Chains A and B, each alone.
Chain A
Amino acid sequence: MKGLKQKPPRFFEWLMRIFFPDNGMYSTVGDMHEQYTFIAESEGKSKAGWWYRYQVIKSLLPIPFHKLVWNLTMFRSYMKVALRNFQRQKLFTFINVSGLAIGIATCIIIGLWVQNELSYDQFHKNADRIFRVEREITRDEIDGRWPITSAKYKQALIDDYPEVIDAARFWRRTFSIKDSNGDLRRETLFAVDNSVFNIFDFEFLHGSKETALDRPKTIVLTQDAAIRYFGSFDIIGNTLELEWQGEYTPFEITGLLKDLPENSHISFEMLMSFNTYPKEAFTSWRSNYLHTYVLLDEVAQLDKINEKLKGFIDNRLEPEYGDLIVQGRSIHDVLKLYLFPITGIHLNPSENYELQAGGSFQSVVIFSSVGLLILIIAGINFINLSTARANRRAKEVCLRKTLGAYKKQLKIQFLQESLLLTVVASCLGILITLAFISFYDSIFSNQFPAVRFFSGYDILLFSGIVFTIGLIAGLYPAMQLSKFEPAQTIKGQFQSTGKKSNFRRNMVVFQFSISITLLIGMTIMYQQMSFINTKEIGFEKENVVLLPSRSSIVADRLETFKTKLLANSEIISASGSADLPGDAAYSNGNLHSHEGVGTHFSSILLNCDYDFIETYKIPFLAGRNFSRNLSTDTLGTIILNETAVGKLGYKPNEAIGKLLDRGDANNSLKIIGVVKDFNFQSLQYNIEPAAFMLSTEYITAISVRIAPGDIVKSLKLIEDAWESTFAGELFEHSFLDERLQMLYISERQTQTIIIIFSAMSVLVACLGLFGLAAFTAEERTKEIGIRKTLGATIANIFSHLTKDYLKWVLISAVIAWPVSYYLMTSWLQNFAYRISLNVWPFVLSVFTALIISLITVSYQSLKAAGANPLDSIKYE
């Protein structure tokens, strides 16, 4: 039969099958097929085809149209019902929305901050191929990470390894710069190779990327620096005078750079050409003071290169580092060379010689989890309140069911309601976030560290998250609400107690466990930070003014300056030194003992003049200070701290007169004094061995101890003495205690944020508790009325209503204690000096939670207990 071969248009037949399934037998499709065959035989195939298509379209078109119309109608009706419900139950709606809004705001704020932390150095096009050359040196069984290298690494790496496309050095220098008015400013800048512009994406506004810093004595400015010095961006070809080898020398400006983004671990306002320094100056492999960055080619693999770098140590470094090798070990045991990806530097900064105080991966984790926890608490409020109030909707649900609503439709209705609430809450949350950020910016002088640019991707992600929150929070209530059986409900059989209130109780316990854990964490962090602030650091940090200076004139005329200062009663003492507390940049060296062969240890070496130990008020345990009267003190004497003496195996007074050297037995150093341990670094680190050596030539800073009292007057005196002694030198000052505070900035930030957010979490949890208490009190109105009629006092009823909640809080405490104990113990491991955990934070936090929840619940309970029983019994 001819017709057998002819088939109706496939797509339309498929449509028919989809829309008229007919229990899988497709008799309708069959009828159409038969008719099609008939038309095809009588009137031709194409006519039959068109007929088929027309029939299908004609019958399908109304389907989507009707669906749309009905969905819209239902949507409008659901919205109307939802809004009426919200209006009728203002308190619950308020609690739900505000709790969620706070939760969402917290999440956005933390999300922005985390995004910023993770975005560091990603703006370079080749970010994943740029690495910093770092070394790891093991001294006395302790590993130290040294992100600095000598100037020779750069060329050697390019020569030895074809994978290294390019390399560049960053050498941090501080100069006095004379601006166009003749005023002096101190600037910290980097001396760099021109190849930095091939490796990093520092954007040029003017000038040539290829040649800007090729010639000696050329300099490149960012927009900020250009405005500061010239007030315009038209600066190419101008000059700036830098103090170069004692004289102010013009440096030509060859480029203008766009300001660097905040999220860069290298920050600068000026770059000068490395070639300004003669090549002959860099011959040593062991003078490590600059940062070397390399750009690898696209196929290079990090671990393979790091393996290959062992060869670099063998070929280039081993001859230089002979003294590091302890007997029986190879150089690879004590010295490692490796590449570190720049995108990881910010969250894993080196403790030594880092370019910028970094963040920490731990804070990112802590903050993210706190944000998530608060959101969970808010979500639980939502679920709890919705299910608690389910009974009020029971009649509506049953009426809808009786009138023919499917369970699915009811679920959709309640999900829509929760989505509506979530959307309102997230709009509020965004407002809160904006308010917070502008508040933060106005309170603290710096901007809130957050990405300020929202891409379409962010908005999409955010909407997705909001949608998910709405779905998850709404799912459980929707399932519960749509379950009501009409027959039972209309007869008046609600099941409001029993299993469901158990569920709510568990949720409240969970919320409070989180809140109490955060409270305990907050208290312990606070204790730890105040412990560090007040801990004896071994010297007196108050009332010390620091005056930095690199100029050789300062070292020359230091004694004159001191004499002038000390003529005033406001000035107690003054001292010049090469190092200051709080600097990570000490010189380190090995000290060898003359007695007991092979006894040696690594120590911080501090170069200072006669008055340093006195100025810092570091107490002596034995021996004496350097003395001006003994000319023998100028060479070959050393003062150690307790830890260093301990390394030698002496008691403080035994050590006096013993000899040490720095690897060369002919230049021995006599121990003339032992001081108490002092802590020059952040208390996160242990006290290291330290040694003072007398130096009056190499001075980079002057420390002045002033009498407490009129600081302004003392500063004026110091400035006058400075101007009259070092005319033309830039005067700058800072305070020692402020400088030391800087060491704890990242801990302080963590602490502040944790405190704010713990308070938030307690607030949100209490909001939920308040809602639940209000609900219970309302639901038990009749019961309370009957109790009162039968003679219960207000106190009876109050305790009857309240004790449940307090019991829940106590159960939460039992859960929170071990968790927070474990978490805080591991947090404290980060500190070399830490408090020992005692019971107080644990007790105190639970007590706080109890008090707050008691206040929250008692408002509702008292209201219910105080009501007139007559009204209560008539209630409903």
Chain B
Amino acid sequence: MILTRSEEMLLLAVHRLQHDAYGVKIRLLMKEFTGKEMAFGALFVQLDRLSQKELLKSYLSDPTPERGGRSKRIYQLTTEGKQALIRTKKVQDSIWENVNGLGLDKA
């Protein structure tokens, strides 16, 4: 299965954040990646779908006071998630291999 661009970014964000991978932080990182604000609604829908595809799993942390006493739902990559990322990376690499004349070097 090949991931879409946003799926790939979300999974990478989750992977990079490790034990801090919950809604707010993922959204921040996504903003860093793309430079755009992502609506919470859109974020949760995506995370939900990835969980349904079993690329992500999640657990609830202990409640913290700065969140009004609510728990964090912390996401983690599943084995399938990791494999999907690797597969996607490979496909991309092969696509990008030997691409010349776009001016990639200058950037």
Q: Cβ of A292: which chain B residues have Cβ within 8 Å of it?
A: none
Q: Cβ of A58: which chain B residues have Cβ within 8 Å of it?
A: 39, 41
Interchain CA distance A373-B50 in the complex, whole Å: 60
Interface: A583 (CB within 8 A): no
Is A25 touching B39 in the complex (CB atoms < 8 A)?
no
Q: Cβ of A34: which chain B residues have Cβ within 8 Å of it?
A: 23-24, 66-67
CB distance from B107 to the nearest CB of A (A): 32
Interchain CA distance A28-B58 in the complex, whole Å: 13
Partner of B24, one of A1, A13, A38: A38
Which size bracket describes the interface of B in this complex?
10 to 19
Beyond A31-B22, A31-B24, A38-B24, whether A55 also contacts B71 by CB under 8 A is no
Interface: B73 (CB within 8 A): yes
Interchain CA distance A34-B72 in the complex, whole Å: 10
Interface: B70 (CB within 8 A): yes
Interface: A173 (CB within 8 A): no
Interchain CA distance A37-B60 in the complex, whole Å: 20
Interface: A829 (CB within 8 A): no
Interchain CA distance A151-B22 in the complex, whole Å: 95
CB distance from B64 to the nearest CB of A (A): 8
CB distance from B24 to the nearest CB of A (A): 5
Beyond A3-B66, A4-B65, A25-B60, whether A31 also contacts B71 by CB under 8 A is no
CB distance from B75 to the nearest CB of A (A): 11
Is B40 touching A27 in the complex (CB atoms < 8 A)?
no
CB distance from A493 to the nearest CB of B (A): 35
CB distance from B76 to the nearest CB of A (A): 14
Q: Cβ of A38: which chain B residues have Cβ within 8 Å of it?
A: 24
Is A1 touching B22 in the complex (CB atoms < 8 A)?
no
CB distance from A699 to the nearest CB of B (A): 100
CB distance from B40 to the nearest CB of A (A): 6
Q: Cβ of A55: which chain B residues have Cβ within 8 Å of it?
A: 39-41
Interface: A7 (CB within 8 A): yes
Interface: A33 (CB within 8 A): yes
Interface: A406 (CB within 8 A): no
Interface: A30 (CB within 8 A): yes
B43-55 interface bits toward A, Cβ cutoff 8 Å, 1 = contact, 0 = none: 0100000000000
Interface: B35 (CB within 8 A): no
Is B70 touching A30 in the complex (CB atoms < 8 A)?
yes
Beyond A1-B66, A37-B66, whether A30 also contacts B41 by CB under 8 A is no
Q: Cβ of A33: which chain B residues have Cβ within 8 Å of it?
A: 67-68, 70
Interchain CA distance A4-B68 in the complex, whole Å: 8
When C-beta atoms are compared, the residue in chain A nearest to B65 turns out to be A4
Q: Cβ of A7: which chain B residues have Cβ within 8 Å of it?
A: 68
Interface: A29 (CB within 8 A): yes
Interchain CA distance A864-B40 in the complex, whole Å: 68
Task: Give chain A's interface secondary structure class.
Answer: helix
Partner of A28, one of B23, B63, B65, B66: B23
Is B67 touching A30 in the complex (CB atoms < 8 A)?
yes
Beyond A25-B60, A35-B24, whether A30 also contacts B40 by CB under 8 A is no
Q: Cβ of A4: which chain B residues have Cβ within 8 Å of it?
A: 65-66
Q: In chain A between 533 and 562, which residues have their CB closer than 8 angstroms to a CB of chain B?
A: none
Beyond A32-B40, A58-B41, A59-B41, whether A27 also contacts B72 by CB under 8 A is yes
Interchain CA distance A3-B39 in the complex, whole Å: 22
Interface centre among A22, A31, A58 (most CB of B within 10 A): A31
Interchain CA distance A25-B22 in the complex, whole Å: 14
Partner of A27, one of B27, B39, B70: B70
Q: Cβ of A22: which chain B residues have Cβ within 8 Å of it?
A: 73
Interchain CA distance A38-B31 in the complex, whole Å: 15
Is B73 touching A27 in the complex (CB atoms < 8 A)?
yes
Interchain CA distance A340-B34 in the complex, whole Å: 89
Interchain CA distance A872-B24 in the complex, whole Å: 71
Interface: A26 (CB within 8 A): yes
Q: Cβ of A30: which chain B residues have Cβ within 8 Å of it?
A: 23, 63, 67-68, 70-72
Q: Cβ of B67: which chain A residues have Cβ within 8 Å of it?
A: 30-31, 33-34, 37
Interchain CA distance A30-B70 in the complex, whole Å: 5
Partner of A31, one of B39, B40, B60: B40
Interface centre among B22, B23, B67 (most CB of A within 10 A): B67
Beyond A31-B23, A31-B24, A38-B24, whether A26 also contacts B70 by CB under 8 A is yes
CB distance from B15 to the nearest CB of A (A): 19
When C-beta atoms are compared, the residue in chain A nearest to B58 turns out to be A27
CB distance from B10 to the nearest CB of A (A): 15
Partner of B44, one of A25, A28, A37: A28
Q: In chain A between 571 and 613, which residues have their CB closer than 8 angstroms to a CB of chain B?
A: none
Q: Cβ of A8: which chain B residues have Cβ within 8 Å of it?
A: 68
A196-230 interface bits toward B, Cβ cutoff 8 Å, 1 = contact, 0 = none: 00000000000000000000000000000000000
Q: Cβ of A28: which chain B residues have Cβ within 8 Å of it?
A: 23, 40, 44, 73
Partner of B60, one of A13, A27, A32, A35: A27
Interchain CA distance A28-B73 in the complex, whole Å: 8
Is B66 touching A25 in the complex (CB atoms < 8 A)?
no
Interchain CA distance A462-B98 in the complex, whole Å: 81
Q: Cβ of B71: which chain A residues have Cβ within 8 Å of it?
A: 25-27, 30
CB distance from B58 to the nearest CB of A (A): 9
CB distance from B39 to the nearest CB of A (A): 7
CB distance from A5 to the nearest CB of B (A): 11
Interchain CA distance A28-B39 in the complex, whole Å: 13
Interchain CA distance A30-B68 in the complex, whole Å: 7
Interchain CA distance A38-B27 in the complex, whole Å: 13
Is B23 touching A27 in the complex (CB atoms < 8 A)?
yes
Is B39 touching A29 in the complex (CB atoms < 8 A)?
no
Interchain CA distance A58-B44 in the complex, whole Å: 14
Interface centre among A1, A8, A13, A26 (most CB of B within 10 A): A26
Is A59 touching B70 in the complex (CB atoms < 8 A)?
no
Q: Cβ of B63: which chain A residues have Cβ within 8 Å of it?
A: 30
Interchain CA distance A8-B69 in the complex, whole Å: 13
CB distance from A378 to the nearest CB of B (A): 50
CB distance from A31 to the nearest CB of B (A): 3
CB distance from A810 to the nearest CB of B (A): 63
When C-beta atoms are compared, the residue in chain A nearest to B22 turns out to be A31
Interchain CA distance A27-B68 in the complex, whole Å: 10
Interchain CA distance A311-B25 in the complex, whole Å: 91
When C-beta atoms are compared, the residue in chain B nearest to A17 turns out to be B70
Interchain CA distance A421-B39 in the complex, whole Å: 48
CB distance from B87 to the nearest CB of A (A): 30
Interchain CA distance A26-B68 in the complex, whole Å: 10
CB distance from A53 to the nearest CB of B (A): 13
Interchain CA distance A245-B27 in the complex, whole Å: 108
CB distance from A28 to the nearest CB of B (A): 6
Interchain CA distance A22-B40 in the complex, whole Å: 15
Interchain CA distance A484-B40 in the complex, whole Å: 42
When C-beta atoms are compared, the residue in chain B nearest to A58 turns out to be B41
When C-beta atoms are compared, the residue in chain B nearest to A30 turns out to be B70
Q: Cβ of A37: which chain B residues have Cβ within 8 Å of it?
A: 66-67
Interchain CA distance A4-B67 in the complex, whole Å: 8
A7-44 interface bits toward B, Cβ cutoff 8 Å, 1 = contact, 0 = none: 11000010000000010011111111111011000000
Q: In chain B between 1 and 48, which residues have their CB closer than 8 angstroms to a CB of chain A?
A: 22-24, 27, 39-41, 44
Q: Cβ of B68: which chain A residues have Cβ within 8 Å of it?
A: 7-8, 13, 29-30, 33
Q: Cβ of B65: which chain A residues have Cβ within 8 Å of it?
A: 4
Q: Cβ of B73: which chain A residues have Cβ within 8 Å of it?
A: 22, 25, 27-28, 31
Q: Would you mind naming 23 contact pairs between A and B with Cβ atoms under 8 Å apart?
A: A7-B68, A22-B73, A25-B60, A25-B71, A26-B70, A26-B71, A27-B60, A27-B71, A28-B23, A28-B73, A30-B23, A30-B71, A31-B23, A31-B72, A33-B67, A33-B68, A35-B23, A35-B24, A35-B40, A37-B66, A55-B41, A59-B39, A59-B41
14 further contact pairs, Cβ within 8 A, besides A4-B65, A30-B63: A3-B66, A8-B68, A26-B70, A27-B73, A30-B67, A30-B71, A31-B23, A31-B72, A34-B23, A34-B24, A35-B24, A55-B39, A55-B41, A59-B40
Closest 5 CB pairs of A and B: A30-B70, A31-B23, A27-B73, A30-B67, A33-B68
